[in-house]
Amino acid sequence: MKGLCLILAIVACASALSTVDHEWEQYKAKFEKNYSPKEDARHHKIFKEQKKIIEEHNKKFEEGKVTYTMAINKFADMTVEDTAYLRGFKHRARDLRHEGASLYEPPVGVVPTLTTVDWRNKGYVTGVKDQSQCGACWAFSATGSLEGQHFAKTGDLVSLSEQNLLDCTAGNGCAGGWMTDAFDYIHRNGGIDTEASYPYHAYDLECSYNASNVGATCTGYVTVERTEDALQTAVSNIGPISVAIDASHYSFQVYNSGIYYEPECSSLTLDHAVLVVGYGVEGTAEFWLVKNSWGVSWGDSGYIKMSRHRNNNCGIASEASYPTV
């Protein structure tokens, strides 16, 4: 009898291992992953460990203990160190955000009257883009905000060239940069080319700006007071706003749906640039509606709902700005 139990246990264990191995092969095929034998073993180990974490987390969601779900996505077999290249918002040694810029402060006594804002419904937001293997989040955040402001002024929604910013903004590129530097470049340069005329390649190239292909211009930029109330007022009254966040957590990497809250998030050490395109409420939980640049397969079709008015979680109000047109 003991021998039979042992055999059954071995068979069950082998079956479980076979299932995980099969899932790993399916995962690699789905996301077109190709590794050397050594790297395959490392990523397979991460995949198995994180799959368990994701399943346990989602069980907590079903029990009402957390407010968002995770999913096995293209980053599920990677550590946060592996994906550091994606998070290209550079930390500055000193605060330069107000140099040469005006500061947006909510008018005294004026508060947003709308409980829900979604600028996608007003035509201000282009489709979700994918920065791929380049740390160009800062460029995607900047173009997103300018696309919205250009639409507000002209009524035309034009997809703008992130590659133009990568190649032509001094000191920035796939290694990282700042949205305010992008706005400053566009202002000094007299415009930014359209994405159609200057397509994205996900690596740095020689500057190929062509003034005849300008899709939008800006006259400068405004930084937003570092409070969630100020950010909410700006989003409500101005449009999509460029922000930086702390995205250095596996929970963000495999976010799927719901309202994201990460207790380990920093409000000061920020590493990723995104675009706030609105805000809202689900039940009693307030959230920011945020457009990422990791493609539509990430998150909620490329978007994430981030906790609002929970002590500036992940620093979403710490580095907000937008261009003037």
Angle between helix axes 137-154 and 179-189 (nearest 10 degrees) is 50
Q: Which ranges in the chain belong to alpha helices (H)?
A: 2-30, 37-62, 137-154, 162-168, 179-189, 228-237, 250-253
Cα–Cα distance, 193 to 200 (Å, whole number) = 12
Cα–Cα distance, 41 to 47 (Å, whole number) = 10
DSSP structure class, residue 145: H
Q: Is 41 exposed, middle or buried (0-12, 13-18, 19+ CB in 10 A)?
A: exposed
Instruction: Specify whether the CB–CB gap between 172 and 184 falls below 8 A.
Output: no
Tell me the one-letter amino acid at 75: F
Cα–Cα distance, 95 to 218 (Å, whole number) = 23
DSSP letter for each residue of 25-66: HHHHHHTT----HHHHHHHHHHHHHHHHHHHHHHHHHHTTSS
Cα–Cα distance, 58 to 77 (Å, whole number) = 18
| Helix, strand, or coil (residue 169) | coil
Residue 207 annotated as catalytic: no
DSSP letter for each residue of 252-277: HHTEEEEEE--TT--SS---EEEEEE
Residue 272 annotated as catalytic: yes
Tell me the one-letter amino acid at 39: E
Cα–Cα distance, 139 to 166 (Å, whole number) = 7
Residue 137 annotated as catalytic: yes
Q: Of the residues 272, 312, 313, 314, which is catalytic?
A: 272
Q: Of the residues 189, 256, 292, 313, which is catalytic?
A: 292
Q: Of the residues 134, 137, 168, 314, which is catalytic?
A: 137
Least Cα distance to 186 among 139, 223, 240 occurs for 139
Instruction: Specify whether the CB–CB gap between 277 and 124 falls below 8 A.
Output: yes
- Catalytic residue set: 137, 272, 292
